[in-house]
Amino acid sequence: MQQEVIISGFGGQGVLFAGQLLSYAAMDAGKAVTWFPSYGPEMRGGTANCTVVISDEEIGSPLVKNPTAVIAMNLPSLEKFEDLVEPGGVLVVNSSMVNREVKRKDIRMVMLPANDIAEELGSHRSTNMLMLGALLGNLDLLTIDDVEAALDAHLPERHKRFLPDNKAALRKGAEFKAEVTSVS
């Protein structure tokens, strides 16, 4: 089994952290993993994305042409990566930041208003965890428990106060189920 995931958004949305966390969880679960970040020079407000490849076997390359899944945190990310998702793959879209429907009809998509839900949960910084939870709830990759364990093990001490919010957001995101956009 090999899964390729691209997580994309604006700098400051926690895109790279979500990818690192997914990578740590996979590594802790005994999987082979690569994490490949890409971001503009602006950092906050600029574009940021990362590619995570998780496999049961050695990984040949961290570069991905057609990912199994994409998390699009904003409209520019959806525009850039929607067409690349492999047929039958999963596309998780933050509908709080995207004002259009998904065009693809051969993928599974999850539209969730992650910014709005994060505000309702009282933690606007947990949008990335909601999106990651939605991915985990719709792709046979890792469990929520795996990712929570990685949070416990790898979150810097200065951020431990965010553990309950991050865990709640992961679980809330996993409740959102994909719509199948194709008629098979």
- The pLDDT-based confidence of 184 (bands split at 50, 70, 90) is very low
Fold entry, domain 2-180: Pyruvate-ferredoxin Oxidoreductase; domain 3 (3.40.920)
pLDDT surpasses 80 at 180: no
What are the phi and psi torsion angles at 26 (to 5°)?
-65, -45
Token reading at 171: 């679980």
Q: Are 116 and 132 in contact (CB under 8 A)?
A: no
What's the whole-number mean pLDDT along residues 58-80? 95
Torsion of CA 32, 175, 6, 108, to 10 degrees: 110
Query: What tens digit of pLDDT does each residue of 136-155 get?
Result: 999 999 999 999 999 999 99
Beginning with the edge strand found earlier in the chain, give each strand of the sheet holding 2-10 in spatial order: 32-39, 47-55, 2-10, 69-72, 90-94, 108-112, 179-180
What's the whole-number mean pLDDT along residues 55-63? 94
pLDDT surpasses 50 at 183: no
pLDDT at 47: 79
